[in-house]
Amino acid sequence: MKSLLMIMDGIGDIRDGNRPTPLEAARKPNIDRLAKEGSLGLMHTLGRGVKPGSDTAHLAIFGYDIFSEYPGRGPFEALGTEGIHLMPGDIAFRANFATVDKKMKITDRRAGRIESASAKKLEKYINGMEIEKTKVIFKQTTEHRGVLVLRGDRLSGRVSDTDPHETGAMIKSSEHLDTSAEAKKTARIMNILTNEVHKKLSNAPENLERIKKGLHPANMILCRGGGEYFKVEKFEDRHGIKAACVAGGSLYKGVAAFIGMDVVHVSGATGDRYSDYFSKARAAVQASKDHDLVFLHVKAGDSFGHDGDHDGKKSTIEKVDKDIIPMVSDNFDLIVITADHSTPCMIKGHSGHPVPILAYGKLVRKDGCVNFNEYEAAKGSIGQIVGEDLMQLMLNWMDKNNKIGE
């Protein structure tokens, strides 16, 4: 029994007056055929009314406890970045190149939208630094973005961001968030790092050249989402099934790597609106040959939601319907389509509205629903579930769950 879990990031929405949601407005005959043959419901990923982050929502859906098994955003980004191999105890941050003036005020949060190739050349000034016997690992990922890892003894993820999250603000000093010696040491290292990195980047020939050309120098890195990496029980040990991940974005690959899923590399899966869905579908089918479950992530709907772009969100759904569904519906016995959270165009951000869920397969009851959208899903026979119910339901639809008692 091969099963597919497709998560359409942020796809849930709400009607804006009389305007239907993107799921209601989209022409999606293939998805709706699955809806007709299967059943629908609503999922409150982290609980009723709770506004989820993408990282915690995915963890909950995969059956992990977000209070004791969530390492923070930084470790996920690092785990999803090629060439970085985390060790337990490492502290990882998301980082981006930025421009600061002489008073350390941020004048551009993305260093003049520095392109990937130029940003890559600055990696060497940071990667390999050593502060208080702690090794600094830094990798540029895309454009101004990167990942920073601290590796050493007695460190803690309980430190605040150096990123003030707004242009025109001063860079922040990292503060310890508890009174442990580890947190104090880590905050101290981060503050030394901020100063050292600024010095090195300010003098880097690449940046002097940028100034000459009238470009913003990438003379600082802003760090956020710090957390300590630790190991958790593998997905296969927890649920008794082997899983693979097909995703473009590093966060999603990182969550999958964290729980021990096999992460499939797909060229063309970029994690943005230009992602090649056809290749992703093909990779999912390929991965199903030696895995019981394939997690397929589609990011674009969420990005369009953040932009308030209703048409963009609608076209993402239509593209999924055309490029992904025909191929997967011929090759999987169980298909579940849902989202990690809603990103309503009206809100331009995540919200606590439950997401629709569709299940299609031989062991799924047909419930008479015909259209996969938020409003029809409220009438479906799956009812209203929370994120942590999903794996149990899927195991049942796969007939892979254990009997309780005799």
Shortest distance (Å) from residue 12 CB to Zn ion: 10
Stretch that binds Zn ion, among 129-137, 206-214, 302-310, 395-403 (CB under 5 A): 302-310
User: Contact letters (x/-) for Zn ion, 336-375, by CB under 5 A?
Assistant: ----x-----------------------------------
What is the rounded CA–CA span in Å between residue 308 and residue 13?
A: 11
Paired residues of 243 in beta bridges: 293
What is the rounded CA–CA span in Å between residue 46 and residue 53?
A: 9
Shortest distance (Å) from residue 338 CB to Zn ion: 12
Helices (H), 107-212: 116-126, 181-203, 205-212
CB-nearer residue toward Zn ion: 285 or 357:
357
| 38 within 8 A of 377, measured Cβ to Cβ | no
67's CB contacts (< 8 A; 6+ apart) are none
Number of residues lying near Zn ion (CB under 5 A) = 5
What is the rounded CA–CA span in Å between residue 324 and residue 35?
A: 15
CB-nearer residue toward Zn ion: 125 or 295:
295
Pairing verdict, β 293-298 and 130-131: unpaired
What is the rounded CA–CA span in Å between residue 337 and residue 257?
A: 21
366's CB contacts (< 8 A; 6+ apart) are 36, 37, 38, 39
Pairing verdict, β 130-131 and 91-100: unpaired
Shortest distance (Å) from residue 44 CB to Zn ion: 15
Member of 3, 4, 5, 9 binding Zn ion (CB under 5 A): 9
Picking from 93, 89, 66, the residue whose alpha carbon sits closest to that of residue 229 is 89
Picking from 226, 223, 159, 158, the residue whose alpha carbon sits closest to that of residue 193 is 223
User: Distance from CA of residue 302 to its chain's centroid?
Assistant: 11
Strands (E), 270-375: 293-298, 334-338, 355-361
Shortest distance (Å) from residue 302 CB to Zn ion: 5
- Taking CB positions, which residue lies at the least distance from Zn ion? 54
Shortest distance (Å) from residue 345 CB to Zn ion: 15
Shortest distance (Å) from residue 299 CB to Zn ion: 8
Member of 45, 54, 118, 373 binding Zn ion (CB under 5 A): 54
CB-nearer residue toward Zn ion: 270 or 401:
270
Stretch that binds Zn ion, among 27-35, 50-58, 312-320, 382-390 (CB under 5 A): 50-58
Shortest distance (Å) from residue 368 CB to Zn ion: 30
CB-nearer residue toward Zn ion: 45 or 140:
45
Beta carbons within 10 angstroms of residue 222's beta carbon: 24
CB-nearer residue toward Zn ion: 52 or 112:
52
Picking from 186, 121, 147, 183, the residue whose alpha carbon sits closest to that of residue 137 is 147
Q: What are phi and psi of 26, to 5 degrees?
A: -70, 145
Shortest distance (Å) from residue 339 CB to Zn ion: 7
Stretch that binds Zn ion, among 48-56, 65-73, 154-162, 256-264 (CB under 5 A): 48-56
Stretch that binds Zn ion, among 78-86, 89-97, 213-221, 335-343 (CB under 5 A): 335-343
Stretch that binds Zn ion, among 73-81, 99-107, 300-308, 366-374 (CB under 5 A): 300-308
Shortest distance (Å) from residue 365 CB to Zn ion: 29
CB-nearer residue toward Zn ion: 3 or 54:
54
Q: What are phi and psi of 329, to 5 degrees?
A: -70, -20
CB-nearer residue toward Zn ion: 187 or 247:
247
| Sign of the alpha-carbon dihedral angle for 80, 55, 15, 355 | positive
CB-nearer residue toward Zn ion: 340 or 389:
340
Stretch that binds Zn ion, among 35-43, 297-305, 318-326, 393-401 (CB under 5 A): 297-305
CB-nearer residue toward Zn ion: 30 or 270:
270
The residues that touch Zn ion, with contacts defined as CB under 5 A, are 9-10, 54, 302, 340
